[in-house]
């Protein structure tokens, strides 16, 4: 029999297979009634040992391996890696290749944000919005497939350039697709900011202040929705972001609603940027030659994935294989914020909170214990039943 005067904690385990999670992660929420008092996250179910595997593949083979770290932000992994290898090799890719890389990176952001919008709506129980946004997302999938031939792993990059060109006809198709998506995005913005039922799930849920976001090292739209002006594309411009700067989207709300608004505003900016890039594409070659053996050295490359800052550290010992590749993905940084924003919310809000940072388990392939639950205790069914009756008496 339990002692009623002691605060009791129940652990609700969720995952790794769970209807609200499309990817495996294991969560243990300590709850007091409906209210979450602690959160433990255990990942690592998709740890595939990629960093080690890169060490016995050549620089070129790794391009294909690293692209498969994550199926949603596949292109940015390849792009950041390729920029790093080119830097090590000391080659400069042609300007047209830079523009194509940027355009594909931005199209990927469109697909990723629309995907996120749908999944977030689904977790909030708003399946109509989920179906709408995924239907419209097929537009950008078609555009990407038209350019690259694959819907998910575009394989845009070569070391030393890009694989495909964008001709006038394709550019017009992209422009048409973007016009349609822009109109739809206006509609989504209206829905998420005015639908009372949905606002009930997002407004003032999971609020994270700017101080918290900075302390916990949040990145990407999660940080920008808490007012942290942090975006690699404007901090440390790469590719064509120097010539065509982005407009940084920041919101002070810090709650889930702010994250919706930031991501949708980013979509508008991305549409503008892609049009601008298409209009100003320089002519020229797509590739330059890169030696098979990469000179000795190390570089640190940062890029802005749809979820935030992506960091690659490459070390070469002068051979045709890398000596060490370290990948720091944005989701890893954002996990730490969950434990802080989860506490005090209802258990039913947890899926929304989790999806609010747009987590990407395969990007993490890591495991995090954020907040250790102490005072754990096993109850028998009988004791549990009695406790329940006492609690709600």
Partner 1 sequence: METKLPSTWEKALDSIRTWARVNSPWVIHFNSGSCNGCDIEILATLTPRYDLERFGVKLQGSPRHADVLICTGPVTRNARDRLVRIYNQMPDPKFVVVVGSCGLSGGVFHGSYNVMGGVDEVIPVDAYVPGCPPRPEAIIHGVVALLDSLKKKP
Partner 2 sequence: MDTTTALETAQSLLQPWAQTVTQPEPHRSDFVVAPADLLAAVQALMDARWGYLGAITGVDLPAPAPAEGQPPAESHLAALYQFFNGAAVATLRVTVTHAQPVLPSICDIIPSATIYERELIEMFGFDIENTPVTDHLLLPDDWPQNVYPLRKSFTGFGGAESA
Residue whose CB is less far from partner 2, 2 or 317: 317
Interface stretch with partner 2, choices 99-107, 136-144, 199-207, 322-330 (CB under 8 A): 322-330
Partner touching 53 among partner 1, partner 2, none, CB below 5 to 8 Å by kind: partner 1
Whole-Å CA distances, 285 to 81, 86, 92, 165, 179: 21, 16, 12, 9, 29
* Region 340-369 residues binding partner 2, contact defined as CB under 8 A: 365-369
Between CA 254 and CA 136 the distance in angstroms is: 27
Confirm or deny that 333 is annotated as ligand binding: no
Residue pair 271/178 in contact (Cβ under 8 Å)? The answer is yes
Partner touching 369 among partner 2, partner 1, none, CB below 5 to 8 Å by kind: partner 2
Q: What angle do CA 266, 269, 274 make, to 5 degrees?
A: 120
Among 23, 51, 173, 182, binds partner 2 (CB under 8 A): 51
- The neighbour count for residue 21, using CB atoms within 10 Å, is 19
Between CA 144 and CA 151 the distance in angstroms is: 6
Q: Rule CB under 8 A: is residue 315 a binding residue for partner 2?
A: yes
Q: Rule CB under 8 A: is residue 151 a binding residue for partner 1?
A: yes
Partner touching 11 among partner 2, partner 1, none, CB below 5 to 8 Å by kind: none
Angle between helices 74-89 and 59-67 (to 10 degrees): 160
Instruction: Compute how many residues bind partner 1; rule: CB under 8 A.
Output: 41
Interface stretch with partner 1, choices 49-57, 287-295, 318-326, 349-357 (CB under 8 A): 49-57
Between CA 225 and CA 228 the distance in angstroms is: 7
Shortest separation between residue 47's beta carbon and partner 2, angstroms: 5
**Does the N-terminal peptide bond of residue 296 adopt cis geometry, omega within 30 degrees of 0?**
no
Confirm or deny that 51 is annotated as ligand binding: yes
DSSP string for 153-196: ----EETTEES----HHHHHHHHHHHHHHHHHHHHHHHHHHH-H
Among 4, 17, 150, 236, binds partner 2 (CB under 8 A): 236
Among 4, 22, 179, 282, binds partner 1 (CB under 8 A): 22
Confirm or deny that 106 is annotated as ligand binding: no
Interface stretch with partner 2, choices 75-83, 169-177, 203-211, 293-301 (CB under 8 A): 293-301
Residue pair 204/241 in contact (Cβ under 8 Å)? The answer is no
Interface ranges with partner 1 (CB under 8 A): 16-20, 22-24, 44-50, 52-53, 64-65, 68-72, 74, 115, 118-119, 130-131, 134-135, 137-138, 141, 151-153, 360-362
Give the residue numbers of the binding site for Fe cation.
Answer: 73, 363
């Amino acid at each position: 029999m339990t002692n009623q005067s002691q605060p009791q904690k129940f652990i609700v385990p969720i995952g790794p297979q769970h209807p609200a999670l499309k990817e495996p992660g294991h969560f243990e929420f300590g709850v007091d009634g409906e209210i979450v008092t602690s959160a433990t996250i255990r990942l690592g179910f998709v740890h595939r040992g990629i960093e080690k595997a890169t060490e016995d593949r050549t620089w070129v083979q790794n391009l294909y391996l690293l692209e498969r770290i994550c199926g949603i932000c596949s292109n940015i992994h390849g792009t950041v890696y390729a920029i790093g290898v080119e830097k090590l090799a000391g080659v400069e890719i042609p300007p047209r290749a830079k523009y194509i890389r940027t355009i594909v990176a931005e199209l990927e952001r469109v697909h990723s944000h629309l995907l996120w919008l749908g999944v977030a709506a689904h977790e909030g129980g708003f399946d109509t919005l989920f179906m709408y946004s995924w239907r419209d997302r097929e537009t950008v999938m078609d555009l990407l497939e038209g350019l690259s031939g694959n819907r998910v792993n575009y394989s845009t990059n070569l070391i030393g350039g890009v694989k495909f060109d964008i001709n006038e006809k394709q550019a017009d198709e992209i422009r048409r697709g973007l016009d349609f998506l822009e109109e739809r995005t206006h509609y989504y913005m209206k829905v998420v900011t005015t639908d009372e039922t949905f606002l009930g799930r997002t407004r003032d849920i999971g609020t994270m202040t700017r101080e918290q976001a900075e302390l916990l090292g949040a990145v990407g739209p999660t940080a920008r929705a808490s007012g942290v002006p942090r975006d690699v594309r404007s901090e440390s411009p790469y590719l064509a972001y120097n010539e065509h700067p982005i407009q940084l989207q920041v919101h002070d709300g810090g709650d889930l609603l702010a994250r919706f608004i930031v991501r949708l505003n980013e979509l508008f900016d991305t549409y503008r940027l892609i049009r601008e890039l298409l209009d100003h594409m320089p002519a020229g070659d797509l590739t330059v030659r890169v030696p098979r053996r990469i000179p000795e050295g190390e570089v640190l490359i940062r890029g802005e994935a749809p979820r935030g800052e992506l960091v690659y550290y490459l070390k070469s010992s002068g051979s045709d294989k890398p000596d060490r590749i370290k990948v720091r993905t944005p989701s890893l940084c954002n996990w730490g914020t969950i434990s802080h924003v989860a506490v005090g919310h209802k258990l039913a809000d947890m899926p929304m909170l989790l999806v609010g940072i747009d987590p990407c388990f395969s990007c993490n392939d890591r495991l995090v214990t954020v907040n250790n639950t102490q005072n754990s205790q096993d109850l028998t069914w009988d004791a549990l039943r009695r406790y329940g009756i006492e609690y709600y008496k």
